[in-house]
A and B are shown apart, each in its own frame.
Chain A
Amino acid sequence: MNTKLTVDQAFKELHESLRLVPAERKKAEDVHNTITDQLRAAGLIDGAFLQGSFKRRTMLAPLRDVDKVVLLRGEPGEATPGTAVTAANRIADELRRLYPKFDVTVGKHCVNLDFGEHTFAFDIVPAYDLGDDILIVNTEADDWQESNTRTLIRIIKTRNDDCGLDMFVEAVRAGKLFVRENLDGCVPGLHVESFAYTAIVSEMAPDEALQAIFDAGVTGLQSGGSYTDPTGVDRLDTRLDPTDRQAAYDAFLSAAALAKQAVNERQAGNHNAAIAIWYKILGSDFPKPNEREAVSALWEGHGISRVVTPAATVRAAPTRAWRP
């Protein structure tokens, strides 16, 4: 690949590759509607809505887990201790009847309907509607707990609208890619959304937005730091295993330093060098720097170590290579 790209163009390519395929997204939405209609027809639910990163549009391709809430028929007053498991099993049994060829399992907060490893699965959360918040099952405690998932959906959408042209959700996806590539996903996606929500409040250049996410991650993950989910209700930092937290802090710190350098390179007009740094941070989903341009730059007065150590550049005059 020897296409010359600017940093903006490279991020645009990245964001395209991380976006869910529209047809796949539409298919998942259609299945969601079908399941809703079927459970409603069975008399089990009054309605349903999508939630999670799929709904918030912060999910990384490829599509896998789709989260939905099913609003159980009845009154929230029925959500008493000792009824959550029964409620989840009632949904699971109906799904097994409707989809006998697919796996249906009951988890802590949801019923999972898996259409196979090569396509998507639904995490279906049985809940009672409280108006805006909901009461969701906790099958381990056989009880119910409040969730403000609608608030979360709403504030992420508002922030994304404020930042314009999906810049916010695209930055979140890039941040999640960093976690996937460098931390084996040990930092859940909602944590990255939290860093982004703290750091990005208006439109920014895509590289500066990702740099801001790394900086916010460093602040939150450092010893003594804390952070909540974007709604400000649930504290997230305490949910990380201490070893994972330290690894995440180290990785975010390193990425923040590299990102700063990449932004400086881009601002100085050295797009290829900046792209090389982003490629190092984000891995092979990011476009590669231009190979020929990189070698040519060595002949045009750029130092060999300019990318990693700007202050220690050694340059040399052009020469004509020869052979007797």
Chain B
Amino acid sequence: MSYITYADVVGKPHDTCRALRLIMPSVVGSVVTDWSSAVVKLDLQLQPPLELQAHGYQVEQIRIVQRRDATQPVPEAFPSGSARSWLHRNPGADGSPGGALCLWYPEDPPRLCWDWSHGFERFVFLVQRHLETEELVRRGNPWPVEDAPHGHRLDGKPHPILCARR
């Protein structure tokens, strides 16, 4: 069951911020930073779970951007803070490493992707899961689950899913 819909995010972003804090106690800060006819921007502070706080994982700052046109049907998540290495993050428009997090492989079947039918809170969960995993990788560990090879295949086909259980 999803709680927060596309209409909620673009139509009632302040309520969305409040709802996120209620539904997800890991959201320890949430504020609307832009709400216009073109875009909604939410800045969130995400507290790591206790297991990771014990290892010094810090509260993550993330900006979530939802455009209100057909060019971007799903939100984008832009981490802020000091420059850090990223394994799965899109390059920025100018080729810099400051683009949105790459949360799923768009060529994967819908069951392995997020869409609005899952609810916005699950998108936020995906973002936090991704952020904690990036920190794990920064500390010298492998990505703990199957990820898709970077780039596109030369034959234009999707990267095959290797993990049998999927």
Could you tell me which A residues sit within 8 Å of B by CB distance? 272-273, 275-277, 279-280, 288-299, 303-309, 312, 314-324
User: A257 → chain B, closest Cβ, in Å?
Assistant: 14
- Interface residues on chain B, number (Cβ under 8 Å): 55
Whether A305 contacts B54 in the complex (CB less than 8 A), given A292-B144, A315-B125, A321-B147, comes out as no
Partner of B102, one of A272, A291, A315, A323: A323
The answer to whether B150 and A320 touch across the interface, beta carbons within 8 angstroms, is no
Q: CA of A233 to CA of B159 in the docked complex: distance in angstroms?
A: 76
B45 in the interface, Cβ–Cβ < 8 Å?
A: no
Whether A322 contacts B51 in the complex (CB less than 8 A), given A292-B136, A312-B23, A316-B114, comes out as no
Whether A323 contacts B89 in the complex (CB less than 8 A), given A276-B51, A304-B125, comes out as yes
The answer to whether A318 and B145 touch across the interface, beta carbons within 8 angstroms, is yes
B146 in the interface, Cβ–Cβ < 8 Å?
A: yes
User: A128 → chain B, closest Cβ, in Å?
Assistant: 52
The answer to whether B118 and A316 touch across the interface, beta carbons within 8 angstroms, is yes
The answer to whether A316 and B122 touch across the interface, beta carbons within 8 angstroms, is yes
29 residue pairs of the A-B complex, CB under 8 angstroms, read A272-B51, A273-B49, A277-B50, A279-B50, A280-B53, A280-B54, A289-B50, A289-B51, A289-B54, A291-B51, A295-B144, A296-B144, A298-B129, A299-B129, A304-B129, A305-B26, A305-B49, A314-B122, A315-B125, A316-B114, A316-B122, A316-B123, A318-B166, A319-B112, A320-B105, A321-B87, A321-B104, A322-B106, A324-B152
Q: Which residues of A contact B136 (CB under 8 A)?
A: 291-292, 295
User: B140 → chain A, closest Cβ, in Å?
Assistant: 11
User: B105 → chain A, closest Cβ, in Å?
Assistant: 4
- Per-residue CB proximity of B145-166 to A under 8 Å, as 1/0? 1111111100000010100001
Q: CA of A294 to CA of B54 in the docked complex: distance in angstroms?
A: 11
Partner of A320, one of B23, B129, B141, B148: B148
Whether A316 contacts B105 in the complex (CB less than 8 A), given A309-B25, A321-B87, comes out as no
The answer to whether B24 and A314 touch across the interface, beta carbons within 8 angstroms, is yes
Whether A305 contacts B111 in the complex (CB less than 8 A), given A280-B54, A322-B147, comes out as no
Partner of A294, one of B49, B124, B147, B161: B49
B88 in the interface, Cβ–Cβ < 8 Å?
A: yes
The answer to whether B129 and A316 touch across the interface, beta carbons within 8 angstroms, is yes
Q: Give the residue name and chain of the B residue nearest to A279 (CB).
A: B54
Q: CA of A305 to CA of B147 in the docked complex: distance in angstroms?
A: 24
Q: Which residues of A contact B148 (CB under 8 A)?
A: 320-322
Could you tell me which B residues sit within 8 Å of A by CB distance? 22-26, 49-55, 87-91, 102-106, 108, 111-114, 118, 121-126, 128-130, 132-133, 136, 139, 141, 143-152, 159, 161, 166
Q: Which residues of B contact A298 (CB under 8 A)?
A: 49, 128-129, 132-133
The answer to whether B147 and A316 touch across the interface, beta carbons within 8 angstroms, is no
The answer to whether A319 and B103 touch across the interface, beta carbons within 8 angstroms, is yes
The answer to whether B54 and A322 touch across the interface, beta carbons within 8 angstroms, is no
Whether A321 contacts B102 in the complex (CB less than 8 A), given A298-B132, A304-B24, comes out as yes
The answer to whether B51 and A273 touch across the interface, beta carbons within 8 angstroms, is yes
Q: Which residues of A contact B88 (CB under 8 A)?
A: 321-323
Partner of B51, one of A294, A309, A316: A294
Q: CA of A289 to CA of B56 in the docked complex: distance in angstroms?
A: 12
Q: Which residues of B contact A299 (CB under 8 A)?
A: 129, 133, 144-145
The answer to whether A314 and B147 touch across the interface, beta carbons within 8 angstroms, is no
The answer to whether B112 and A317 touch across the interface, beta carbons within 8 angstroms, is yes
Q: Which residues of A contact B106 (CB under 8 A)?
A: 322
The answer to whether A321 and B24 touch across the interface, beta carbons within 8 angstroms, is no
Q: Which residues of A contact B122 (CB under 8 A)?
A: 314-316
The answer to whether A314 and B54 touch across the interface, beta carbons within 8 angstroms, is no
Partner of A273, one of B50, B53, B118: B50
